[in-house]
Amino acid sequence: MKILLTAFDPFGGERINPAQEVAAALPERIGGAEIVKLWIPTVFGKASEMITRAMDELWPDAVISLGQAGGRKAVTPERIAINWMDARIPDNAGHQPKEQFIEAGGPDGCFSTLPVEAMVAAIREIGLPGEVSLSAGTFVCNEVMYRVLRHAARTMPDTRCGFIHIPFLPEQVREKPDMPCLSLEDMVRALTATLEVVEAHLASEKR
């Protein structure tokens, strides 16, 4: 069993991205699943192309993308990606699409195929903040989630796909005293719990 785990590089003036820091600290195996890690750029189009190429090569059982959501206080698995790009800031290549469809003629939204409610429950069971999110935004994170779900639906419908947003790390908020954050240790614990849920869900589907 393979789970493809992707994480963005720093963007928006930040020196680090908690997604990469957490992904790097996670184990290479969880239960019966190999965790294959992929670093992706915060660039419209390029990030999703890298993921779908890796999907075609690995044929993973699940794809989970991690992204930073500064201002959120909880680890938030996303419920839905919308067919819309409207960037508040440029991506790392200077692109800033405004009011554009991701896929002309595509569905308005694509729902996560991960067990998001069970993932949130697992985070809360270990005493950490977890919430289901109903908005992945309109930046690169949302575009990646949408394109990955569409690619899976077309070519590998048994592959479970979704996105998890995580808060800032403490070192990112030293000069932002009112901004929530979570420690690296706590976020690794939360993501380990979610991956354990996904692994168990995949295993039960294969029985």
Q: Give me the catalytic one of 21, 110, 141, 151.
A: 141
Catalytic site residue 110? no
pLDDT of 159 above 80: yes
CB neighbour list of residue 194: distance below 8 Å, 6 or more residues apart: 64, 75, 77, 119, 122, 123, 164
In the set 78, 143, 151, 161, the catalytic residue is 78
Mean pLDDT to the nearest integer, 138-160: 98
What are the tens digits of pLDDT across the range 50-103? Answer: 999 999 999 999 999 999 999 999 999 999 999 999 999 999 999 999 999 999
- The closest alpha carbon to 64, from 183, 159, 204, 186, belongs to 159
- For the 2-206 domain, the top CATH level (class) is alpha beta
Q: What residues pair up with 30 in beta bridges, in sequence order?
A: 33
Q: Is 165 a catalytic residue?
A: yes
Q: What is the mean pLDDT of residues 131-143?
A: 98
Q: Is 201 a catalytic residue?
A: no
Question: Are 87 and 95 a contacting pair, CB within 8 Å?
Answer: yes
Token code pair at residue 89: 């800031």
